[in-house]
């Protein structure tokens, strides 16, 4: 089956709300391009296509167009990359868009973690909004520990603050039982030590010799 021309358009260059977008949306909603697919596959492809357009509306900060799209697709539907419109808003740090999506039923049920995306991009306002709505960092504790330690090594103060705002236990350890505080003390980084104490990490005057050990997860 030949792919229709309108499905080959680069969505990254599409301006949501203009005439070209409206024409594409009209063709998608006709479902003519799905006539040879079975119903479950039709529904899945439709949801992913509309979710991709919704994420594009988020990027363009077009609330009206996003509202129109959400009348035809679940706000938590994932695009072809496994992302929802909420993920896009978290990546961009758009607090108003995050609140709009949360008010329209956006939740944390994707394999990707919206709060983690906000942390990595140091979007403090979005982190606080998600926490206010009860979101948590849905990552394995060992991974959290590893990323906290890497943050200390990089001396990334903004990222450390983002992790603190997310509500994670700042004493979370990696697979060796090593923590961000132990790493800061090992490095002799007094600024990081002070920040970690302020962020409720357990104070340490000294740490044992750092030994690597292999652990199967």
pLDDT (tens digit, 9 = 90+) per residue, 11-68?
444 444 555 555 555 555 555 545 555 556 656 677 788 888 899 899 999 999 899 9
pTM of the full structure: 0.75
Residues contacting residue 45 through CB under 8 Å, at least 6 positions apart: 34, 37
Domain positions in the chain: 5-132, 141-198
Q: How confident is the model at residue 9 (pLDDT cuts 50, 70, 90)?
A: very low
CATH 1.25.40.20 is the classification of domain 141-198: yes
Looking at residue 109, its pLDDT comes to: 75
Q: Into which CATH architecture does domain 5-132 fall?
A: Alpha Horseshoe (1.25)
């Amino acid at each position: 089956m030949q792919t229709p021309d309108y499905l080959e358009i680069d969505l990254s260059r599409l301006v949501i709300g203009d005439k070209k977008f409206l024409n594409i949306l009209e063709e998608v909603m006709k479902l003519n391009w799905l006539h040879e697919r079975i119903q479950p596959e039709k529904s899945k492809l439709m949801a992913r296509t509309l979710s991709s357009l919704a994420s594009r509306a988020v990027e363009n900060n077009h609330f009206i167009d996003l509202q129109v799209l959400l009348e035809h697709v679940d706000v938590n539907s994932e695009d072809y990359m496994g992302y929802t419109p909420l993920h896009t808003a978290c990546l961009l740090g758009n607090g108003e868009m995050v609140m709009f999506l949360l008010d329209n039923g956006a939740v944390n049920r994707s394999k990707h973690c919206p709060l983690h995306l906000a942390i990595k991009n140091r979007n403090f306002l979005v982190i606080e909004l998600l926490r206010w709505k009860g979101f948590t960092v849905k990552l394995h504790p060992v991974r959290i520990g590893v990323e906290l330690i890497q943050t200390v090594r990089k001396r990334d103060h903004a990222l450390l603050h983002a992790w603190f705002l997310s509500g994670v236990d700042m004493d979370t350890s990696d697979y060796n039982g090593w923590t961000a505080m132990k790493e800061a003390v090992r490095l002799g980084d007094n600024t990081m030590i002070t920040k970690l104490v302020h962020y409720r990490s357990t104070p340490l005057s000294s740490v044992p010799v750092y030994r690597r050990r292999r652990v199967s997860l």
